[in-house]
Amino acid sequence: MSIPNQAFNKILLKVSSPQNLKELSLEQLETLSSELREAIILNLSKTGGHLASNLGMIETTIALHYVFNSPTDKLIFDVGHQCYAHKLLTGRQNSFNTLRQYKGLSGFINPNESVHDAFLAGHSSTSISLGLGMSIARDILNEDHNIVIIIGDGGLTGGMALEALNHLGHIQKNVLIILNDNEMSISNNIGGIYHYMKRLKETFFYKDIKDKINLIETNLSVNHLNPNVLNLIHNVKEQASQRFETPGIVFEKLGINYYGPTDGHNLQAIIRELENIKDIKKPKLLHLITQKGKGFAPAEADAIKYHGVSSSFLNNLDSSKTDKIEPDYKPKTSTYSDIFAQTLIELAQIEPNMVALTPATAEGSGLVKFGNLYPKRFFDVAICEQHAVTCAAGMAKAGLKPIVSIYSTFLQRAIDQIIHDVAILNLNVLFCIDRAGLVEDGETHQGAFDISLLRTIPNLKILAPKDANELKDMIYTALASKQINGPIAIRYPRDKAYNFTTNSNNHEFKLIDFTKWEYLHKAKNHKVVVLATGSMIEQLEPGFKTNSHLTNYASLVNARCLKPLDHNLLKLLLNDHNIQTIVTVEEGALSGGFGSSVLEWYHNQENEIETYTANLPVKTRINFPRIVNIGLKDTFIEHGQRSILLDQNGLNSHKLIKRIEQLILSSFTKTPNSVEFLSQV
């Protein structure tokens, strides 16, 4: 497949490597920027992807590749979702139409894809640490090249970016930071730094004061002043020019040389600035003001709406403004995120002390509407997962009922805070973990590890709802029940909610007993019992109705609470000598996951030890069940549609049911009545 001609006309087609840019005139580079803009818009109308941020980065990317020499010079894109122009200029034009598709180009940067991708990214705020590390390596290895970090104003709110900036100011390595300032991370940007930079741009007052001092001097010189006064004026001017000349005083104070602000869509200006500063062997920051969605009117007007687009966005330009255009392949009104957000709105009246926090994922987690309705009870804390969790701990200690809405992959940033600030004091913080399980964004974003990471933390309960209503009831119970103490995490995938009907909106909340699992199907003559969690029930339950082997010989349990386990039910299974195999199913890493906790329980429960020391007959031993864990293997999982990934990892309905059929078969081979089953297969 090739890209349509209208997208790639003459100049872009000639650019097979960044070196080709060097031969182009400024006018040709300007034309190239239009061509890139067109190519990105047209391609994203087929693949979906990050639109607005990429349109804002086109001139910057051209200028960087014009002035620097990738891959000798290293370009490190923070997050990496603004790298489309970079991909098109670095030999990936022909595969650009596979962007974000299974086995196609990644939506982020990845050195396994191109030597021009200096590192891998996906999460925010890592680039300054990476660039600093690479600059130390360069200097120790006596190499000579430039290291350029491209980070947005949103990325700069992340604590680790600030840690790295601080270290860079101290260690004074030759690194260039391009601050791509579009006044907006995924949601509207938050925080003092943002306001600071906004004031910067509004006033430019430092330049102003210097000009005025010059003017005073000029005017005064005609008067005959005494030397002391002249001297004073001179001193003030000198101090002012030393200290106040730069608008980036915060960066300067931290030891980073500040340049700009510069119009990030003025190619000539960017190139001139880069040429001027590239040989200064110090930490330096060039502040570029860009506009998200630049060159595409609808995206300029509503950058949040066009942050990520689905493949059909060009067709929907005329649709109502209230319809969000997002890469959501499911109807917007029935995802787990929607159910979560709707539930919070419904519970807000019942629970006046409930508040919600999110680290810059208000849009994706569905919380925008809640925030609009309850602005004083909603806190988007920017890309600050650590702060979000510990702030919630403070709230809980002081009497609120905070809910932290966070993606599984970003929760990884706050493990210590969950342990140290929430769990030790057993505080009532509710974590609603969205995108838990497989997502289309690839290795960096898979929600694979949350169960394993959380389950080792004492005091924390982990829940996974089987469907829309159970999610509602879990949130309700966690907030409403006086019996429940301590932190609770509820995980759910980025998918439409199972069993959602329009009636779900009229669902009456009910309390759930977290300590109890429930049978969804119980076979009289079960050989296999399936303990399924959360999203996996949607994949399994229909098969128990349609597949006669499963119907007859397997039972299905909704293991809604992944921690603690339902010990009573597990004991019953142990004593049911008919059961040959227990199967656990989870959409998460097998290493240390839910399945392994079931194994731990069976091998280590105190009663079992008593059984052994009481010298029971060998028979007990024979019936020790085999336990099979189904989940994600110990590897990183690539990008692609969720349905493809579920299939590839053996977690869709078809593969799961086939696997359970096999396990039923092998269970029968162990018992005298194998024939009974085999004859039916």
Catalytic residues: 292, 385, 413
Q: Which member of 7, 391, 532, 664 binds a second copy (CB under 8 A)?
A: 391
List 326, 421, 470, 566, residue binding a second copy (CB under 8 A): 421
| Binding characters for a second copy, 292-321, by CB under 8 A (x = yes) | ------------------------------
Window of 79-87, 501-509, 553-561, 610-618 that interacts with a second copy by CB under 8 A = 610-618
Is 348 a residue that touches a second copy (CB under 8 A)?
Answer: no
Report helix, strand or coil for 644: helix
Order of strands across the sheet that contains 175-181: 74-77, 147-152, 175-181, 283-289, 257-263
| Binding positions for a second copy, 256-275, rule CB under 8 A | 256
With binding defined as CB under 8 A, does residue 390 bind a second copy? yes
Site membership for a second copy, residue 249 (CB under 8 A) = yes
When binding is defined by CB under 8 A, the residue of 10, 69, 163, 373 that contacts a second copy is: 163
Could you say which residues in the range 97-126 bind a second copy, by CB under 8 A?
111-112, 118-120, 122-123, 126
Cβ-based nearer residue to a second copy, 277 or 425: 425
Dihedral angle, C-alpha 648, 649, 653, 659, nearest 10 °? 110
- Least distance from C-beta 516 to a second copy, angstroms? 20
Binding mask 132-161 for a second copy (x = CB under 8 A): xxx-xxx-xx---------------xxxxx
Closest alpha carbon to 48 in 309, 271, 425, 415: 309
Q: Which of residues 624-643 bind a second copy (CB under 8 A)?
A: 624, 626-629, 634-636
DSSP 226-274: -HHHHHHHHHHHHHHHHHTS-S-HHHHHTT-EEEEEEETT-HHHHHHHH
Span of 289-297, 395-403, 490-498, 553-561 interacting with a second copy by CB under 8 A: 395-403
Cα dihedral value 106, 107, 112, 117, nearest 10: 150
Pattern 14-53, a second copy, x by CB under 8 A: ----------------------------------------
Residue 572 binds to a second copy (criterion: CB under 8 A): no
Q: Shortest gap between Cβ of 389 and a second copy (angstroms)?
A: 8
Least Å distance between CB 553 and a second copy? 15
Selected from 31, 95, 98, 167, the binder of a second copy by CB under 8 A is 167
Shortest Cβ 502–a second copy spacing (Å): 34
| 393 lies in the binding site for a second copy (CB under 8 A) | yes
Distance CA 121, CA 79 (A): 5
- How far from chain centre, in Å, is Cα 369? 20
Coil, strand or helix: which one is 160?
helix
Is residue 380 a contact partner of residue 439, using CB atoms and an 8 Å limit? Answer: no
Long-range contacts at 567-576 (CB < 8 A, ≥ 24 apart): 567/601, 567/605, 568/516, 569/516, 569/517, 570/598, 570/601, 570/602, 571/605, 571/607, 573/529, 573/625, 574/602, 574/623, 574/624, 574/625, 576/526
Phi and psi at residue 378, to the nearest 5°: -130, 130
- 205 near a second copy, rule: CB under 8 A: yes
Please say which residue, 137 or 317, places its beta carbon nearer to a second copy: 137
Q: Which stretch binds a second copy (CB under 8 A): 232-240, 257-265, 285-293, 534-542?
A: 232-240
CB of 154 vs a second copy, minimal distance in Å: 12
CB atoms under 10 Å from CB of 46, counted, come to 18
Distance CA 194, CA 192 (A): 5
354's enclosing H/E stretch is strand 354-358
Q: Tell me if 658 contacts a second copy by CB under 8 A.
A: no
CB of 3 vs a second copy, minimal distance in Å? 29
| CB 163, min distance to a second copy, A | 4
**Binding of residue 502 to a second copy (CB under 8 A):** no
Residues 6+ apart with CB under 8 A from 534: 436, 437, 464, 465, 466, 491, 492, 493, 560, 586, 587
**Residue 289 is which amino acid?**
I
- One residue of 14, 243, 567, 577 binding a second copy per CB under 8 A: 243
Closest CA to 175 of 129, 243, 114: 129
- Distance (Å, whole) CA 204 – CA 63: 25
User: Mapping DSSP to helix (H, G, I), strand (E, B) and coil, where does residue 562 land?
Assistant: strand
DSSP structure class, residue 3: -
Does position 85 interact with a second copy (CB under 8 A)? The reply is no
Tracing tokens 């329980």 back to the chain, one arrives at 601
Does position 69 bind a second copy by CB under 8 A?
A: no
Nearer of residues 162 and 314 to a second copy, judged by Cβ: 162
- Residue 58 interacting with a second copy (CB under 8 A): no
429 to 468: interface string for a second copy, x by CB under 8 A: --------------xx----x--xx-xxxxx---------
Quick one: CA torsion of 571, 574, 579, 584, rounded to 10 degrees?
A: 70
Binding piece for a second copy, criterion CB under 8 A, among 19-27, 228-236, 330-338, 484-492: 228-236
Q: Does 355 bind a second copy (CB under 8 A)?
A: yes
Structure tokens at 237: 């001017």
- For the stretch 302-307, contacts whose Cβ atoms lie closer than 8 Å and that sit 24 or more positions apart, written own/partner, are 303/52, 303/182, 303/184, 304/52, 304/184, 304/186, 304/187, 304/188, 304/363, 306/51, 306/52, 307/50, 307/51, 307/52, 307/53, 307/186, 307/363
Query: C-beta of 140: minimal distance to a second copy in Å?
Result: 6
Q: Is 236 near a second copy (CB under 8 A)?
A: yes
- Total binding residues for a second copy by CB under 8 A? 148
The reply to whether 654 sits near a second copy by the rule CB under 8 A is: no
Nearer to a second copy, 190 or 523 (CB): 190
- By beta-carbon proximity to a second copy, the closer residue of 219 and 506 is 219
Decide if 629 contacts 532 (C-beta within 8 A): no
CA distance 476 to 312: 37
235 binds a second copy (CB under 8 A): yes
